[in-house]
Structure 1
Amino acid sequence: MDKTDRLILTRLQRDASLSVADLAEQVGVSKSACWRRIQKLEDQGIIRGQVTLLDPVAVGLSLTVFISMKTNQHNREWATQFRDVVEGIPGVLEVYRMGGDIDYLIKAVVADMPGYDSLYQELIKADLFDVTASFVMESIKETSELPL
């Protein structure tokens, strides 16, 4: 990946709706060269997809929650069950297996506290040992842009 690829990726991270012509002009290459580079970055798996980012409050999901959890079961069967449970919950945005004091960290969005309770009721189907929730009061920085 060279400097031009990094420029293309930086611009696409900020606005994936840019036309190839506009993107090519911004990074100083021809449209065909820009298109070939984008295709190569997609083929290599560097570009995983393109999405539209929504304002959660505007779509009625005003409560963001980070859920820390521990389990007593560190085996493949439990991990598969846990994966199936969290993949089936629409409000769950991100799930991480962690090192340190907690085993898993989940980021989720819900409409309100009853919405969190519903999510929690689905989550505990995974047979968890300890669950702690922290609710976001203010988002100070939020980005999906990787520093290239």
Structure 2
Amino acid sequence: MDQIDLHLLTLLEGDARLSYADLAEATGLTKSPCWKRVQALEEQGVIRGYRTVVEPSALGLGAKGFVSVTVAFEQHDAFEKAAVRHPMILSCHATVGETDYLLQIMAKDLIALDAFLRGELWRLPGVQRFSTTIATREIKTDGSILACAARR
């Protein structure tokens, strides 16, 4: 990966809707080589996809929780499959430390979040215990992967 690829990634990370003409102009390439580079980055798995960032409150989602979960050793695969399928679990990360997973949950309100925790989460395979932290407001959600990579 060279400086042009990194520049393309920086531009796309900032605005994935940029046209190939805009990308080409910003990098000093023509559209065809620019398109080929982006396509190569996609094929290599460097670019995993493109997405729209949706405002949760616009859809009536006002509660966000982070849940640390401990799972029985023999149930990790089943838990992970269930977590991937569950629509209220926005993200699931395997962790090292006192717990096994960190989940990010989004719900309508605290009542709905509590209903998920009491009625659904504990029923997922292998869940032994969990601890929840409620987010009161977002400070930063649009960090740059490229900025992190530049600090390695």
TM-score > 0.5, shorter chain as reference = yes
Could you list the per-position Cα deviations for residues 11-34 of structure 1 after superposition, in whole angstroms to 9, with x for gaps in the alignment? 101111111001111121111110
CA deviations on 1:63-90 (whole Å, 9 max, x unpaired) are 111001112x212xx1222123212221
Does 1 or 2 have the higher relative contact order (CA < 8 Å, sep 6+)?
Answer: 1
Higher helix share: 2
Q: Secondary structure at the match of 2:59?
A: coil
**Aligned amino acid, residue 34 of structure 2:** C
**What do the CA deviations read for 1:116-136 (whole angstroms, capped 9, x no partner)?**
133222221123121111111
Partner of 2:127: 128
Counterparts in 2 of 1:13-28, with a 5 A limit? 13-28=13-28
Distance (Å, rounded) in 2 between the aligned partners of 1:101 and 1:83:
18
Classify the secondary structure of the residue corresponding to 1:57: helix
Give 3-state SS (helix, strand or coil) of 1:119's partner: helix
**What are the residue-to-residue correspondences of 1:43-122 with 2, within 5 Å?**
43-71=43-71, 73-75=72-74, 78-120=75-117, 121-122=119-120
Runs in 1 of length 4+ with deviation above 2 angstroms?
none
TM-score (norm 1): 0.91
Amino acid at match of 1:91: M
Deviations 1:81-117 (A, max 9, x none): 2123212221211101111111110011111122213
Task: Count matched residues.
Answer: 145
> 1:6 and 2:3 equivalent?
no
User: Where does structure 1 lack aligned partners over 5 or more consecutive residues?
Assistant: none
Name the counterpart of 1:31. 31
